[in-house]
Amino acid sequence: MPDRIPAEHTVIFDLDGTLIDPFEGITQSIRYALHEMGRPAPLASELTWCIGPPLFDSFATLLGGTSVASRGDIEEAIRLYRVRFSHVGIYECQLYSGIPETLEELANQGFSLLVATSKPHVYALPIVEHLEVGQWFQHVYGAEMDGTRRDKGALLEHVLAKERIIGDQTIMIGDRRYDVDGAREVGIRSIGVSFGYAAPGELEAADPDVLVATPREIPAAVMQLLGDAR
């Protein structure tokens, strides 16, 4: 990845459901973990809601809720998930159509691009490099394996501090309410993308500053929010 270059305006991308479609890798790794624990494994098509939020929260729900599932059970499910995901599921993903062109356009316009995902960064960085878009990003940020900064607000606060960037010169782009809520929590504007894994009405209720339907609409939305101040 390139060295950090000074830029007045920064665009932060979520990963799953925003840059990439991770359906196969995530859902099949969840099913593997549940099967290994002797628990019922929903169909992959019934697990799309698990794409986006922290894995701990998804398994807590799948195992009956935090009032039923012990922390030990949830952590064991995550461990088993990672057995499959770290070797197979990590590469069962693909870029959304139009993403490479979108990243190139934004970079050529002078925006600094980052990734911020609740997925552990030890997975996020190899995915970005494997899909050959790493050259467009200054840094890739994610949660720690122990769950530290799995909350999007906490992660974005960390990113702003590490990058020494200003909130009103920064945009968060994501497909779930967690991205919009996290951006609002740290005082930055947001663009919601409806081509990801949000439930019907989820993004509208979260109320991002702009909502787009395709990756190729992103540059115009970024310019709408940041262009006048450049």
Residues annotated as catalytic (active site), given as ranges: 14
CA distance 103 to 105: 5
**Chain centre to alpha carbon of residue 128:** 12
**Residue of 174, 154, 203, 139 whose CA lies nearest to 52:** 174
Contact yes or no for 163/183 (Cβ under 8 A) = no
- Cα–Cα distances in Å, from 207 out to 33, 71, 174, 215? 34, 33, 12, 19
